[in-house]
Amino acid sequence: MKVLGIETSCDETGVAVYDTESGLRAHALYSQIALHAEYGGVVPELASRDHVRKLLPLVRETLREAGMTTSDLDGVAYTAGPGLVGALLVGAGVARSMAWALDVPAIGVHHMEGHLLAPLLEDDPERGRPEPPFVALLVSGGHTQLVHVEAIGRYRLLGETLDDAAGEAFDKTAKLMGLPYPGGPQLAALAEQGRPGMFRFARPMTDRPGLDFSFSGLKTQVLLAWKDSDQGDEVRADIARGFEDAVVDTLSIKCERALDAAGCDTLVVAGGVGANKRLRAKLDEMTRKRGGRVSFPRPQFCTDNGAMIAYAGALRLAAGQHGDLAVRVTPRWDMASLEAVVHGS
C-alpha cells in the first residue's frame, strides 16, 4: 500500500510517500524558520499562508522523487491534530481533496502518534524495529510525555510536563541568554563548548516519586545565574552546558522510572529534543546497563516531518481504518482516545 503523508501542524511543511512493502520511498521538508525569525516565534497566520504556498509543490516534488504519479497512490494521510488550527486545515483540505479526486481512502493522523512511531519507520541495522510493549519518551517543542505503548494505537500516559515542555525550556532559556531563534538547537550547540560542572542546576521533581516533569523552575535558575554573571561568551557556554546536563539527567531518571513502572526494558524516543546528542548517549548508557535498548529515529525525523505521518497513516489504512469526506481537524486531541490498530479485523 502506497500512502502519501502530509504534515502541516505548525511551521514545517512535510510530505512523504511510504510503501508498506518497500518502506519509505521519498520525503521532502520545508522549514519556515526564516519566515518567523524576525518575530522570535511562530506567527500562526503566516504559518498557514506559507503552507498554502509550499504544500502542492512539495507534493509534486515528492512524487517525482518516488518515481510515482498520483494515480499510484492507495491512500492519503495527514496530520489532523494537535497543532495550529489554520495550519492543520491547509493539510487536511489538500489531503481530503486529493483522496476524493483519486477515489482512495484518507485518514487524519495524531501528530504525537506520528512522533511516537517515527523510531519504527526504518529498521535498526543491528537490532531491527522495536516491538510493543515499550515505553515512549516524546520530547518535542510543545510536549514532554512518557507513554506506555501496550500495542500500536493502545497508549497509556505515564507522566507529562506540568508547565514548559523540555523543548520550550530549551528555546526560552536560549532566548533569555540572547541566542537567535530558534534557540533550542543554538543552545545545544553552545553547550558543546561549555565546561561540565561549572554550573549545576536542579534536576526538577527527581527528589520525589512520580513521572511528571516541570522545567519552569529550571529556566528561572538559569535566568538568575545569567543575570549574576559577566554574561561573556565563556560563561554563556558554561550555563548552556549546565542547563543541558540538568534536562538530560532529569529525562534519563524519569525514563528509567517509567521502564520500571511499565515492567519493560525497551525505550523509544522521538520529537525534536530526541536529536540531542547528549540525551541519546545518556539514554543509551542507561538502557544498556539494565540489559535493554533504546531506539531513536534519524535526526531528520525527530522534528516534524511527513515521513512519520505517512507511516502512521499507512498502518491505520492497512488495518481498514479511514475517515469520511469531511475536512476535520482536532487542535487539542488526547492520544489515549485513539483506536487500536488491529490488522485483519
- List the beta bridge partners of residue 19: 2, 23
Q: Residue 341: helix, strand or coil by DSSP?
A: coil
Residue 141 is labelled as binding a ligand: yes
Q: Is 171 annotated as a binding residue?
A: yes
Residue 36 annotated as binding site: no
Q: Is 51 known to sit in a ligand binding site?
A: no
Neighbours of 100 (CB within 10 A): 12
138 and 270 in contact (C-beta within 8 Å)? yes
Q: Where are the beta strands (DSSP E) in the chain?
A: 2-7, 12-19, 23-31, 75-81, 106-110, 134-139, 144-151, 154-160, 266-270, 293-295
Task: Report the candidate in 158, 56, 60 with the shortest Cα–Cα distance to residue 97.
Answer: 56
Q: Phi/psi zone of residue 324: left (φ > 0), alpha (ψ -120 to 50 degrees), beta?
A: beta
Collapse the DSSP code of 129 into the 3-class scheme (helix H, G, I; strand E, B; otherwise coil) and give the result. Answer: coil
CB 198 within 8 A of CB 238: yes
| Euclidean distance between CA atoms 203 and 25, whole angstroms | 42
Is 233 part of any known ligand binding site?
Answer: no
Collapse the DSSP code of 219 into the 3-class scheme (helix H, G, I; strand E, B; otherwise coil) and give the result: helix
- Residue 343 labelled as part of a binding site: no
Is 276 annotated for ligand binding? yes
What distance in Å separates the CA atoms of residue 313 and residue 248, rounded to the nearest whole number?
Answer: 31
Neighbouring C-beta atoms of residue 70, cutoff 10 Å: 14
What does the DSSP 8-state code read for residue 40?
T
Is 138 annotated to bind a ligand? Reply is yes
To the question of whether residue 242 is assigned a binding role by annotation, the answer is no
Report which DSSP code applies to 232: -
Give the largest CA-CA distance in the chain: 64
Q: Are strands 293-295 and 266-270 parallel, antiparallel or unpaired?
A: parallel
Q: Name the residue among 7, 108, 131, 137 with its Cα closest to residue 339.
A: 108
Of 57, 41, 77, the residue nearest 181 (C-alpha)? 41
* Binding-site annotation: residue ranges for substrate: 138-142, 171, 184, 276
- Which residue numbers belong to the known binding site? 111, 115, 138-142, 171, 184, 276, 304
Binding residues for Fe cation: 111, 115, 304
